[in-house]
Structure 1
């Protein structure tokens, strides 16, 4: 899947846009366009729209084309102009998973599914809005609409790790896809697979109900379990897997035709009578989670042995160290040796490739960063760098690092990260860094700067760095610091392997 299938996911059901006949108002304000840009970047990122208000000004064609695709997906009048009807849809509660421009049911890339007949699930944290017995019964009912039509059975367990781990939690809840408060994203789920695969999370800031008031738990859970079984979003507005939420009567609810075809395309048709699902026993309260470890003075990391170009590094090792990391079109890329891992914004897991198989002529990456307004991605090795776009290395590269204004004495960069809200790219070399003004195309005056002094809380060295959801993440050895740049303050300490969807 924030597999998280990333990357978010909330429900949702069919949505009928009621037009009263009034001519929609064209919205021209910068704030409205910024909201629209954020929406398109989050939910239609696969069609190439980039983020930031500057992209709206300098990349209007991209914004317009993506807006047209969004309007077509939701059955709106396709104008390419931001109007009041379009904004109304954008403000609807919905699933956090990306919308792909399909005309019916869709599956995740690679069509992941469960290769077993009995799928286990466990609820580790309940909502106080409903009794635990009601939550158990409702989630069992939401799973049963799938087991009624495909040869899968679901079993609730009370201890250990289940295939589908379920919890109700607000804001940051440990999967790098924090919820956004009441409204907006209601829940999200990961596509089938190991680690976090199938896990389903509900936003505790919502008011969960079994009726038309608040947010109906059955409808949201049924949609999210569709993702947990391998279904992506559908363009069919009467489908369960339509991305926005709308209440309908759940009495006697059966899986709509589009969703039934989608899940049966993955698992086949149930031909025998399914055994009656027994009521789930009431789970015991979960123990209080242990507090996160506090940052400690960081020792010099022990370099892992080079596995060689043909050997894939162990992404689940607790000693995992990144060579470089960056976001590219809202996906996260982590480089190690001759390989990289891609953590998709579509919540469909972590994939592995060799660097050279994607960017011909590049075998290793020491540092990498993405500069959003130009859609440019820079990959650095030794004293030279390449600019790439998608899977293509642009002509005229590699070029020397000195093009950025780095001194000739710098023959290798440890890490690089672009900070979009200040327009600066930081290049880390040993215990110092250089600040580069991307908009002016030149280094800032006061360079280099001491890491320990200017960025307190991250230590003396940086191996890899990237920006994600407004925070910077600095890795040194196997440990990583989430950092608030504007406040110059460490938020929490992570392990590099936490991004790898491992148990």
Structure 2
């Protein structure tokens, strides 16, 4: 029972596949045609995850699984932190109302199964030993990527090296997707809208705690990066005293001038030596003129490109939250503000630490949702918060959200809008 595989479900459940252990290779059972989505922008949501895996690493692995498919097709995916989503990923134990044939049976049996469009669900056995590393347990990234393929309408492939083969595929130096996987997804949704299909070897995905979320710096000549952040996720955003935006993703950042012109992507290291890729949050202080960065359980402070003495420092020693969602310098308080889930922390700079009586409830910021990815004060007086493709405009006088919308297509100063042609750049 050492050879895990993904077998097909029955027609009643329309399960695209359930990964199962098998004593030997068996004849591939052909799935019914999976259909397709009739739109190119899809949302997904990680409903829950194994308690022994860090949430942020699971989310990185899931994001990577979706980007495998968006890299080689015209699809674009956005993560929904709450509420409805086109594709939902959920961990279950045992029988979970999918029919007895789809009941999970603990370690060593069925790992996962998924449903074709447009049900949009993938289920994973919570009793399995899941891992985000190359050598221990069942690699969650690989299984998610396979099941996502089913939720997009892909059937099993007869090619042994294909990700969509019925048999569990281990990470190696080879590409995760085979030519058969790429042809199958492009047959349903077409080729990437910009540039060529981008592939990365499996070894890139072996350790998600060190994972660089920016795939695309390896293939500059294959795809333009000048507006990549406009149709993807970004990690953090802040603005300096000249109203220049700094938008961070993976190991690169963009500078968008006050006129709305975006730079090419620039590497983090020359500007902020020692700063890791994939930061959680960033804020530029109007009080000190310094950049504050946060990732995991540590924080960094730079004056210009010079790391301040004593940094990086542990968040726990300062009373700061680990993995903050958003950092902001709030002029009315003349303090930094960190947002984490349903709470926010007001933070002094000298010395760096949480002010008394904090954290407080996010309800103080009326209308602001939890889990934002960044915030910037605008020169017109409002503070703009961002999450996925959405923005929320917060009125500092009324202390409430007064508008919301799609930032890439509605906020010209984000660098995604061509003022001359009055068209979006992507």
TM over 0.5: no
Normalised to the residue count of structure 1, the TM-score between the two structures is 0.36
- Which gives a bigger RCO, structure 1 or 2 (Cα 8 Å, sep 6+)? 1
Normalised to the residue count of structure 2, the TM-score between the two structures is 0.42
